[in-house]
Structure 1
Amino acid sequence: MRRNRSGLVSDVAFLLFLVLIYISIVFIAGNPDQYLQNIMILNAAFLLAMVTYFTNVTAGLVLNLVFIFSYGFFILYQTVSQGETIGVNTYFWLLMTPLMTVATWLFTFTNRQLQLENERLRKHSVSMAAVDQNTDLRNIVSFQKDASLFTGISIRYQIPLTLLVVKVKYWNEIRRLIPEEQLSEAIYDVSQLSKSSIRTNDALYLLDKEDATWGLMLFTDREGAKIVIERIKVKLDELNDSRLTGKYKVSLGLKIGAVEYHPETIESPLDFIVKAKKQLEYDV
């Protein structure tokens, strides 16, 4: 509803601006004796509208006050020095110029509101999506839904369950060193090597794309998880060797934390992740 209302205000403001321009053109055409002066004032009105469009209404209105005082001083000078009377032309532009500024501000303000709303909705849809588009991996939303299933199987059949959290070292620094497309490639490559290091009945999740963090749900104990960790590190070394062929400008390093599931110490899926991330501090 808010979005529709903002769109309506934007449309009305745009139509109002067009109407004001039309009225100004008709007014100028009806006063051929002051054609040059009216054209100059119309250009000034357009300039004030453009300033408002690229800045904000405060700057536009302040400049309008400057224009009104300047124009008023000019009219006063003509009245005193040349004996001219204050006519409709003066009042017309004193009213029309601020109206153009306000119409421009309404148009730009509602458009910016719509852009912010679209960006918020886009981020919300991405966060609510169950699968990452680039890697085809399930994300943290899916993890929270699947965790209860995995933990239920672990408890019912007495199968050990371990969560690995894998994070790229110095990711924030790496983001400044390589272009965006290579960042996506790096996330994809680490995702693939992690996927190839686990069994088909295990699960891999991209927990945080911005911070390059994965979660691996393994039906094994801590000792079995160590084997998976070694596989990942070996495959990472192979990936870093491709740096010699020019694929990446930096070597990728991983920090891996592992926590085995115990229902008496792990209360929720998020608690599972937090405890696994805590183990990252010990992997240097």
Structure 2
Amino acid sequence: MRFRGSLVSDGAYLLLILSCFICIVFTAGDPNRYLQNVIFLNVAFLIAIVTYFTNVTAGLILNILFIFGYGTYTLYQTIVQGDGIGVHTYFWLVMTPAFTLVTWLLTYGTKQLQQENERLRQSNTTLATMDERTSLKNTLSFQYDAPVFMALSVRYGIPLTLLVIGVKYWDEIKRMIGEQQLLDAVAQLSKLGQTSIRTNDSLYILNRDNPTWGILLFTDRDGANLVMERLKERVADLNRSEFAEKYRVGIVLRMGAFQYDPETVSNPLEFVAQAKRQLEYDV
């Protein structure tokens, strides 16, 4: 589909250039009908433009009206003025519909490419396991990884805790700094989370619009509390650095943790929901 759309679009573009070249040569080659040919050339362009921004049906209707009008004009010249019918008479009868057809092919090929691009974009959004802004694993990746962590926890009796992190007063912060600064702040906070965990723990961004991170920790609830304290210390250091001066705000994190229990957690979404409920206690 993508190859066909590209082929049609490229072919139509070349045909359009060729058609313009032929019309220019024809118009310049007959000085006696120069003004007449320029008028017909503009009419052909106008019909092509209407076809591009509407559809081929509108272009065909306009071409029928043009052929009818041009035929009437030619008949008048032949009968009343006695002009003969030559190549110039048939040229615009052929070239005007040709312009319309080439323009429609160009529009068709472009739309095919746009549709293919939209399908690829949606497919990338659906299947991508990395967040493009922060290069962190996203919710889809969490859906894949969490069952593995949960199975390992049950099989080897290793405690597993999900730590969820949010930013207090995020709606107010968004109104205070620009969009690009928001993206930079989220990326910087994500790096802070990465440097605060062990290599066998896994960090995810669960919501990038209202920044929420999740960390799967092979530890119990007490171990998660130590990680939370370490993160709070890192954020405090960050607020005392150039971060607060750059973004004109101080960041305060909300954190909640939930230890995995096979009896109460049946899937990754329930695991996230249970951990997010703990955020309500961090006020």
TM-score range, shorter chain: 0.7 to 0.9
- Alignment-derived partner of residue 57 in structure 1: 55
In the alignment, residue 149 of structure 1 is paired with which amino acid?
V
1:33-85 deviation line (CA, Å, top 9, x unaligned): 212211232134334434555x3437973994698399559938965996466
Which of 66, 69, 89 is residue 68 of structure 1 equivalent to?
Answer: 66
- Alignment-derived partner of residue 143 in structure 1: 142
1:92-124 deviation line (CA, Å, top 9, x unaligned): 435533432342232134224314423542453
| Stretches of structure 1 lacking an aligned partner (at least 5 in a row) | none
Asked whether the equivalents of residues 67 and 93 of structure 2 are also in contact (C-alpha less than 8 Å), the reply is no
- Alignment-derived partner of residue 192 in structure 2: 193
Is the aligned partner of 1:162 residue 2:154?
no
- Alignment-derived partner of residue 19 in structure 2: 20
State the alpha-carbon separation in 2 of the partners of residues 100 and 174 from structure 1: 55
Asked whether the equivalents of residues 64 and 97 of structure 1 are also in contact (C-alpha less than 8 Å), the reply is no
Is the aligned partner of 1:46 residue 2:48?
no
In the alignment, residue 73 of structure 2 is paired with which amino acid?
I
Asked whether the equivalents of residues 258 and 278 of structure 2 are also in contact (C-alpha less than 8 Å), the reply is yes
| Stretches of structure 2 lacking an aligned partner (at least 5 in a row) | none
- Alignment-derived partner of residue 152 in structure 1: 151
State the alpha-carbon separation in 2 of the partners of residues 281 and 200 from structure 1: 29
State the alpha-carbon separation in 2 of the partners of residues 203 and 41 from structure 1: 69
Change (3 A) 1:244 1:280: closer
1:215 to partner: Cα distance = 1.1
Asked whether the equivalents of residues 260 and 271 of structure 2 are also in contact (C-alpha less than 8 Å), the reply is yes
Is the aligned partner of 1:100 residue 2:99?
yes
In the alignment, residue 259 of structure 2 is paired with which amino acid?
E
- Alignment-derived partner of residue 272 in structure 2: 273
Asked whether the equivalents of residues 167 and 254 of structure 1 are also in contact (C-alpha less than 8 Å), the reply is yes
DSSP-derived class of the 1:201 partner = coil
Asked whether the equivalents of residues 56 and 105 of structure 1 are also in contact (C-alpha less than 8 Å), the reply is no
Q: What is the TM-score normalised by the length of structure 2?
A: 0.76
Stretch deviating more after TM superposition (184-193 or 238-247): 238-247
Asked whether the equivalents of residues 163 and 216 of structure 2 are also in contact (C-alpha less than 8 Å), the reply is yes
State the alpha-carbon separation in 2 of the partners of residues 281 and 62 from structure 1: 64
Stretch deviating more after TM superposition (259-268 or 162-171): 162-171
Change (3 A) 1:92 1:262: same
Paired residues for 1:255-270 under 5 Å: 255-270=254-269
Asked whether the equivalents of residues 56 and 104 of structure 2 are also in contact (C-alpha less than 8 Å), the reply is no
DSSP-derived class of the 1:233 partner = helix
Work out the percentage of aligned pairs sharing the same amino acid: 47
Q: How many residues align?
A: 282
Change (3 A) 1:112 1:172: farther
Asked whether the equivalents of residues 257 and 279 of structure 1 are also in contact (C-alpha less than 8 Å), the reply is yes
State the alpha-carbon separation in 2 of the partners of residues 6 and 20 from structure 1: 21
Asked whether the equivalents of residues 75 and 86 of structure 1 are also in contact (C-alpha less than 8 Å), the reply is no
DSSP-derived class of the 1:138 partner = coil
Asked whether the equivalents of residues 162 and 218 of structure 1 are also in contact (C-alpha less than 8 Å), the reply is yes
Paired residues for 1:237-252 under 5 Å: 237-242=236-241, 246-252=245-251
1:3 to partner: Cα distance = 0.8
1:151 to partner: Cα distance = 1.4
State the alpha-carbon separation in 2 of the partners of residues 230 and 99 from structure 1: 73
DSSP-derived class of the 2:247 partner = coil
1:272 to partner: Cα distance = 1.9
Asked whether the equivalents of residues 243 and 250 of structure 1 are also in contact (C-alpha less than 8 Å), the reply is no
Change (3 A) 1:164 1:60: farther
1:216 to partner: Cα distance = 0.5
Change (3 A) 1:27 1:254: same
Q: What is the TM-score normalised by the length of structure 1?
A: 0.76
DSSP-derived class of the 1:183 partner = helix
Stretch deviating more after TM superposition (149-158 or 16-25): 16-25
Asked whether the equivalents of residues 63 and 96 of structure 2 are also in contact (C-alpha less than 8 Å), the reply is no
In the alignment, residue 267 of structure 1 is paired with which amino acid?
S
In the alignment, residue 245 of structure 2 is paired with which amino acid?
G
State the alpha-carbon separation in 2 of the partners of residues 6 and 46 from structure 1: 24
DSSP-derived class of the 1:247 partner = helix
Change (3 A) 1:72 1:247: same
